[in-house]
Amino acid sequence: MNLFSNQNYISQLAIDCVIFGYQERELKVLITKLNFKGDFYSLPSGFILQKEGVDEAGHRILKERTSISNIFLEHFKIFGEADRTNKDFLENIINLNQEHFDSDVSLSKADFEWLTSRFISLGYYALVDINKVTPIKTALDESMGWYNIHEIPPMMMDHNEMIEKALESLRLNLDTNIIVLNLLPETFTMKEVQDLYETIFEKEYARNNFQKKILELNVLERLEKKFTGASNKAPYLYRFKK
């Protein structure tokens, strides 16, 4: 079976997705364990069809691997060293294991050549609500799951570096992107915003300073409290400006 080589993809160009997931003050990354003998971990990846735009390909890959669409997905860096290739990795696998695949997948010669050519990778990142995502395995995956940012396994090629660089971009652009990330409910408290920032930046903010900083971004509006007759100690609710 030819998985890649007979598709109408642009050659030597890949997309790797660093999909961050946020859930209850934890930041995780979606990682796939490959269907080879041994422990081989990879980011969800794919290629660009001749007839689709690069961003469009990123969204397609994201949808194929997480079932979600219409979310914020941004290119953050090119990984383009001349010696960047899967060749050593795949040859090792095949030398180590007579039957290099565990089960029902075999790699055609054309696919092997496709996968071992030099690839320039376009790094994309997204930040999603883990509760809204169903990871979807492909034929090459043994399993797929969320790994805490502090418990990322040693990964294929430069995928560990990709995660580091994506986290830098996520932090650098969080103020600008907070409104499009769609990570908070329709209305939310200041504490929920602070929890999100503290998780992503891995540091604590003083409550007053944080509130000042966020309000200065000028993207939030505070809702009036409804008079309930109760002691009214409920925190203010906010929503994003339209």
**Contacting positions for a second copy (CB under 8 A):** 10-13, 48, 50-56, 75, 77-78, 80-82, 118, 120, 122
Least separation in angstroms between CB 117 and a second copy: 10
Q: CA torsion sign, 158 to 160 to 162 to 168?
A: negative
Least separation in angstroms between CB 216 and a second copy: 14
Cβ-based nearer residue to a second copy, 22 or 119: 119
Least separation in angstroms between CB 63 and a second copy: 17
Three-state SS for 48? Answer: strand
Q: Give the separation between CA 53 and CA 66, rounded to whole angstroms.
A: 20
Cβ-based nearer residue to a second copy, 60 or 137: 60
- Token pair, residue 118, equals 């030099």
Least separation in angstroms between CB 167 and a second copy: 16
The beta strand positions in the chain, using DSSP E, are 9-23, 26-34, 41-42, 45-49, 73-79, 120-129, 141-148, 220-222, 238-240
Cβ-based nearer residue to a second copy, 26 or 56: 56
Q: Which single residue is written with the structure tokens 């990709």?
A: 162
Cβ-based nearer residue to a second copy, 82 or 230: 82
